[in-house]
Homo-oligomer: A and B are copies of this chain.
């Protein structure tokens, strides 16, 4: 009669979406998998949770009772796991720092060096995040701090200190007609296909498509990627262009790709983030201070 947490997550997703098909997309599994999971949950509880119809999945009274509790249970559960991880890394004297490829730059080694100088015996683990998680593991509590690009979705629930800004440039295939220009106006890129981050990154994706600075002009998506290497390949292969912070030109120089300054887009901001629970954590505070003093 034991029910897996995964089943509860599935249930919550289906209850929210009102549809197996849509929930399946959101959870990145096939629809039949959810059919089975929901039925399994119903069997283990001995209670029907949904009424099936062509219109979708509608909650029964019992389903509503469970749906009302599910978010709280899941949140408590995740909080307990986070707390456990935090305890562990403190006990081991390890500071876990997530970073987005594009947010780690020349300052990073200085920051880490300064931190370890101030905290002998401590180790800094730098954990590389994919673009599908713009919080670089902070949102899930996998890290104690993170070097990020602002803004990102979920920012309200975390603490963030802005460290620096950089102009945004554009990455182009070298064969691109604009590739030999010294500087490019953003409006000239409006009709170009763009290489974008996965859709679930929401606001972050929009920011890098500069969706707000197109004066209503629609975005064309040429490819969706999740990782710097794929990003570079997609651009080199001519699937599209992409905005990128200036430092990317130095860190990800590659044959087949050129980087050019862009006018008419706001600069990118780099920040360091941490969880509100760590406001009083001297180690995290010190790491943030090192970030501030070394950028």
In the complex, per-residue mask of A128-142: 1 if CB is within 8 Å of any chain B CB, else 0: 000000000000101
The size class of the interface chain A forms with chain B is: 35 or more
Contact (A62, B85) CB under 8 Å given A1-B140, A4-B5, A6-B4: yes
Q: Which chain B residues border A62 with CB–CB below 8 Å?
A: 84-85, 87-88, 91
A65 lies within 8 A of chain B by Cβ: yes
Q: Which chain B residues border A91 with CB–CB below 8 Å?
A: 60-62
| Residues of chain A having any CB pair with chain B under 8 Å | 1-6, 9, 45-49, 60-66, 69-70, 72-73, 76-77, 80-81, 83-85, 87-88, 90-91, 140, 142
What is the oligomeric copy number?
Answer: 2
Chain B min CB distance to A60 (Å)? 7
Q: Which chain B residues border A60 with CB–CB below 8 Å?
A: 88, 91
Which one of A9, A60, A80, A83 has the greatest number of beta carbons of chain B within 10 Å? A80
Q: Are B4 and A4 in contact (CB under 8 A)?
A: yes
A-B contact pairs, 12 of them (CB 8 A): A1-B140, A2-B5, A47-B85, A49-B84, A60-B88, A62-B84, A62-B87, A62-B88, A65-B88, A66-B84, A69-B80, A70-B80
Q: How far is the CA of A28 from the CA of B1 in the complex (A)?
A: 15
Closest to A6 in B: B2
Q: Are A61 and B73 in contact (CB under 8 A)?
A: no
Q: Are B5 and A48 in contact (CB under 8 A)?
A: no
Contact (A46, B85) CB under 8 Å given A69-B80, A73-B80: yes
